[in-house]
Each structure stands twice: as C-alpha cells, then as structure tokens.
Amino acid sequence: MTEHRIYNFNAGPAALPLPVLEEIQASFLNFKGSGMSLVEVSHRSKWFDDVINDAVVRIKRLLKLDDNFEVLFLQGGASSQFFMIPMNLLPEGRSADYVNTGTWSTKAIKEVELQGKSADVVASSKDRDFCYIPKNVVFNSDAAYVHITTNNTIKGTQWAQMPDTGGVPLVADMSSDILSRPFDPAPFGLFYAGAQKNMGAAGVCVVVIRKDMLERVPENLPSMVKYTTFAAKNSLYNTPPCFAIYTVQLVSKWLEEEIGGIEKMAEINRQKADLLYGFMDSGDFYRGTADADSRSFMNVTFRLPSEDLEKQFIQEALENGFGGLKGHRSVGGCRASIYNPMPLKAVADLVDFMKTFEKKNG
C-alpha cells in the first residue's frame, strides 16, 4: 500500500510520519494486548492512562517545560481558544494586546470583542495584505497578556523571534509551527496548537498553560470552558478525543526517538525551507508572496506568472505525486506546507518537478 502514497503538502490535516501511521495500523485491532483497539478502550483504563501520560511527558521534554506548566488536551480546535483565552485570562476592566498578522489573528481579536472585552491591536500587517511580521512592536505594560500567531498558515509568514513583551505574559497560537523549532517557554503564559498540522490527527488542541495563569480563571464560567477544570483532572474531566491524543503521543515519540529532538528537527526544517526558497529566488517564474525576513519555514506561499499556469501546475504536480499545493481558498496561488513530517527528499523532489515545469512553461 505504501507505494501508492503521495507527497502530501496539505496545510492541515497534514502529512504524518510514516512510522507513526504504521504503528497505528499494526496496533489497531489489539492495542497493547487489550484485545480492543485504542478507540474502544475506556479513557479511564490503564491503557489510555499510559497514552496520555506519555504524551504529556514527551511534550514537556521536547519543549523543555518545567513543572510551572500544565499540558492540556482540549476539544473545539484552536478556534475555541480564541474565545477561551479572553474568558479565562482577561479580567473585566483590563485590556489585552493583540498583533494582527492575518486571518487567524483577526478571528482571535473578533472573539475578544464579541465578549464586550477590549483587544488593543498594537500592530498589524493588514496594510500590505499580511505579507510581513510587524517589527519593533511596543506593547502596553499593563496589558493582561499579549497575543500573537507565531506562524501564519495562510499568508506564509512566521515570527523569526518571539517578541519581547517586557514581562507581560505572552499568549500564542502555534497551530502551524509548534514543535518545529526551539524557543524559551519562560515568557509564555499560554500557547496552543490544533494538533492536525504538526502534532497529530485532527480532534485535539494542545494547550500549554503556566500555572500562575490558572489563578485568573473566574469561578463562574461553565465547567467545559475553564482551564482549571481540565488542569485538575489531567484533561480527563469528560471523555477526551482518545485517538487524536494517541497520535500526538506517537508523533512526539517519533520526534524524540527517530529525529532526535526539536533542535535536530529545526535544522532539517531550515534545510527544507532554504532549498525551496533558494530555488524560488534563483529565478522569477515562482514568486514568494511573503517578505524575505518574514517567511515561514512551514508554509511556503508562492505565485506563478498567471492563474492559468497555477491551475496547471497544481494539476500536473498532483499527477506526479505532489498533493495539496493549492493556496488557501481565501488567497489563491500555491502553498507547499512542509511541516515536521515532510522529508527533505520530498522537498528536493518537488524542486526538481518545479524546475521541469518551468522549463516547459516558462
């Protein structure tokens, strides 16, 4: 079956490491001698306890999180964090700083405003259609937190470094670059990621929260939207998305045991991005859409000389085993998502295909 698999450049749900898929397949009918599949065992069983506990331990080790941080597995996608964050962490009468770098930040800001709370948009790249990350942003020292989107999946931009917020807790949507590069977790009050891009299968959002932030959670929120509910119960307050958490465990194991950790992963990610951007910059047929200093190492967005050529490129790429190269429906163009599981060889093969396509059509 594996010989029919294509290179999957989708933005999410996205490619998973082949060894992870193989382990799921091999253990599916009889998980760890239980006589049941993982999706049939109780979430209160020893089998599932081992899965969720191992996932937490590995994520903490990979991200170098000390005991000040809790790792939570929540449902409702990264999109639910857009409203849960202000509900839990933004007290009445205070304001939070937001940097608007595209569709996902815009949605996050809207959810604050829907609650009648104040989001101060301290910087935005809307003036140039979100093709860059704002620089030298000045934050309010009395902000309840500062929210950023570390990687902008649609526009293909990424914060090269996390901003200095001068002690105000940083809150970040890392849906499309978590576990792709090392960073210092200390300034973060919370960060979160829908698992379906870089961490596993759709259905779970990983939320990492610093324990002191839990003190802000108002008592009178519904239980299912309070971080404290899940922190008190190891994410097992109600039935969790067991299968998705299992995939996060396996991807974390793959990252530790087969790749050798986040530093090694970041080096491979740099090589992949350098290869693709380097090739695009060597001519003018493929045109990157993000400013060079704001380019994403995860989502490489580009245009061809015409929309007809883009359509033809995406179609012929698929026929040659390269799937998912269509840009997001809101922006058009092309996008190659080269998350952690995408091997360097796949990017090298894509560049070869792009060269051939250009020779024929350039």
Ligand X SMILES: Cc1ncc(COP(=O)(O)O)c(C=O)c1O
DSSP letter for 325, please: -
Which pair of tokens denotes residue 181? 């590069």
Contact positions with ligand X (CB under 6 A) in 186-225? 194
**Which of the residues 159, 173, 226, 326 is marked catalytic?**
173
> Is the CB of 38 or the CB of 174 nearer to ligand X?
174
- Across the beta sheet with 334-337, the strand order is 287-288, 299-303, 334-337
Catalytic annotation on 254? no
To ligand X, the closest distance from the beta carbon of 82 in angstroms equals: 8
Binding flag, residue 247, ligand X (CB under 6 A): no
Shortest reach from residue 77's CB to ligand X, in Å:
3
Q: According to the binding rule CB under 6 A, does residue 158 interact with ligand X? A: no
Binding mask 46-75 for ligand X (x = CB under 6 A): ------------------------------
Footprint (CB under 6 A) of ligand X, residues 161-180: 173, 175-176
* Site map (CB under 6 A) of ligand X, residues 288-327, x = contact: ----------------------------------------
Calculate the CA dihedral of residues 273, 290, 150, 152 and round it to 10 degrees: -100
The helix (H) or strand (E) run that includes residue 302 is: strand 299-303
* 112 CB neighbour count, 10 Å cutoff: 22
CA distances 264 to 21, 158, 260, 273, 290, Å, are: 22, 19, 6, 14, 25
Nearer to ligand X, 155 or 285 (CB): 155
User: What are the C-alpha distances in Å from 46 to residues 26, 241, 264, 338?
Assistant: 20, 16, 33, 36
| Residue nearer to ligand X on the CB measure, 34 or 75 | 75
- Judged by beta carbon, residue 97 or residue 111, the one nearer ligand X is 111
Among the listed residues 27, 34, 37, 79, the single contact to ligand X using CB under 6 A:
79
Q: Smallest distance from the beta carbon of 105 to ligand X, in angstroms?
A: 8
Minimum CB–partner distance for residue 338 and ligand X (Å) = 14
Query: What residue type is assigned to position 85 of the chain?
Result: I
254 forms part of the interface with ligand X (CB under 6 A):
no
Question: Strand ranges (DSSP E) for 19-165?
Answer: 69-74, 95-100, 118-124, 146-149, 151-152, 157-158
Q: Do 158 and 150 contact (CB within 8 A), yes or no?
A: yes
Determine if 341 is a binding residue for ligand X (CB under 6 A). Answer: no
**Binding track over 97-136 against ligand X, x by CB under 6 A:** -------x--------------------------------
Catalytic residue from among 60, 117, 155, 197: 197
172 vs 170: CA distance, rounded Å: 7
Rounded distance between C-alpha atoms, residue 111 and residue 79, angstroms: 9
Whether a cis peptide bond, with omega within 30° of 0, leads into 13 is: yes
CA 145 – CA 139 distance, rounded (Å): 10
Q: Which residue's structure tokens are 């609650």? A: 115
173 as an active site residue: the answer is yes
Window of 29-37, 77-85, 223-231, 286-294 that interacts with ligand X by CB under 6 A:
77-85
Q: Which is nearer to ligand X, 105 or 252 (by Cβ)? A: 105
Told to judge if 197 belongs to the known catalytic residues of this protein, a careful annotator would answer: yes
DSSP of 178-217: TTSS----TTEEEEEEETTTTTSSTT-EEEEEEHHHHTTS
For ligand X, how many residues bind (rule: CB under 6 A)?
A: 11
Helix (H, G, I), strand (E, B), or coil: what is residue 169? coil
Our CB check for ligand X shows the closer of 20 and 244 to be 244
| Residue 228, token pair as written in the block | 């404290």
Q: Which residue is nearest to ligand X (CB)?
A: 77
Catalytic residue among 104, 159, 177, 326: 104
- Please report, as ranges, the residues that interact with ligand X according to CB under 6 A: 12, 77-79, 104, 149, 153, 173, 175-176, 194
Catalytic positions, written as ranges: 104, 173, 197
